[in-house]
Amino acid sequence: MIEERRGSGLDPEALRELYQISQDDLNLIRDLAGAVIDRISEHVHNFYDWLRTQPEYDEYFSDDQVQKRVEGLVTNYWHQFFRAEIDDEYMSSRQRVGTTHARIGLPLSTYFAAMNVFLGLFTEVVDANRSGDGPSDTLKALMKQVHMDTAVVVETYSQHVNETMAMQSRSLMEMSTPVTQIWSGILLLPIVGIVDSKRAQDIMNAALEKIAETQARVFIMDISGVAVVDTAVANHLIKITKATRLMGCSCTISGVSPAIAQTIVELGIEVGTVKTTATMKDALSDAYNRLGMEIKLVS
């Protein structure tokens, strides 16, 4: 993983050392700038003309003005590259490239394609000015810095994507564990889908937090939407009921169908003192009775 400095982003010196970019390498890159910079704009324009033929062009580049603005940003990218001043500002600019690609959903393959186009240009310029058949120190210096740039962009892109996915996952988990206060002292959680150890822990955390917040005395878990109840699921549910009881809140599991009841018996699962009901209506009726409340229909 690329090394970071506490509070200040990527460490330029550490990255230079990692990619073995010496001061001589940077000087060689600066010396090449004069032969390359004048051709950068032309190659940037040609690259985006080629990109017009690709399926993703219309999705990410809505009009000519957007393309011109992006071409300007890419031109600045290479101008900064050939200044060869690898400092905090340089690192931040490369991180912005990765973040921008991730935010708009532009695939990294487009970035790689652009890098390949410009490496071709740089190789052409180096070859035209090279004497002898040996490997060019200038070309090796270019490759080092390009590899460093690519690593920063890709890792930043991946980090942003992973953070977005984690945030979405947390949001979905919160939506899948909606502990709701349906009456003073009564909480309800309808569970739908598969219950694994991670989700069971999230359910327990959400339930206990809500109990502490509302001082609820009854907690109803409705499992009529749970696809499969096996030993693991049953044990998770029993642990949740025990945890809520430790907080002074009785727990009822509703939605226990005949099939689920039969499965629990066949598996030999000890439910102990866990209160269960066939329907949520029965669970609510029992909850009101526990709290000394009575529902009356008013005609």
Is pLDDT of 25 > 90? yes
Q: What is the pLDDT of residue 219?
A: 96
How much is the pLDDT for 8? 46
Confidence of residue 260 (pLDDT cuts 50, 70, 90): confident
Instruction: Please say if the pLDDT value at position 104 is more than 90.
Output: no
- pLDDT tens digits, 117-161: 888 888 888 888 776 555 589 999 999 999 999 999 999 999 988
- The pLDDT of residue 114 is 84
Contacts of 101 (CB under 8 A, 6+ apart): 107, 108, 110, 111, 153, 157
SS3 content of the chain, % helix, strand, coil (to 5): 65, 10, 25
Helix (H), strand (E), coil (C) string for 37-101: HHHHHHHHHHHHHHHCCCCCHHHHCCCHHHHHHHHHHHHHHHHHHHHCCCCHHHHHHHHHHHHHH
Q: What is the pLDDT of residues 150-187, one digit of tens each?
A: 999 999 999 988 888 877 666 665 556 688 999 899 99
Pairing between β-strand 4-5 and β-strand 186-193 as defined by DSSP bridges: unpaired
Amino acid identity, position 93: S
Report, as an integer, the average pLDDT of 63-78. 84
Position 61 confidence tier, pLDDT thresholds 50, 70, 90: confident
Structural domains in the chain, CATH included, are 4-171 (1.10.490.10), 180-290 (3.30.750.24)
pLDDT at 7: 46
pLDDT at 135: 56
Distance, in Å, from the CA atom of 69 to the CA atom of 20, rounded to the nearest integer, reads 34
Is the confidence at residue 102, as pLDDT, over 50? yes
Question: Which pLDDT value is given to residue 298?
Answer: 64
Residue pLDDT, tens place only, 177-225: 688 999 899 999 998 877 878 888 888 998 999 999 999 999 999 998 8
Q: Is the pTM of this model over 0.95?
A: no
Mean per-residue pLDDT of the chain = 85
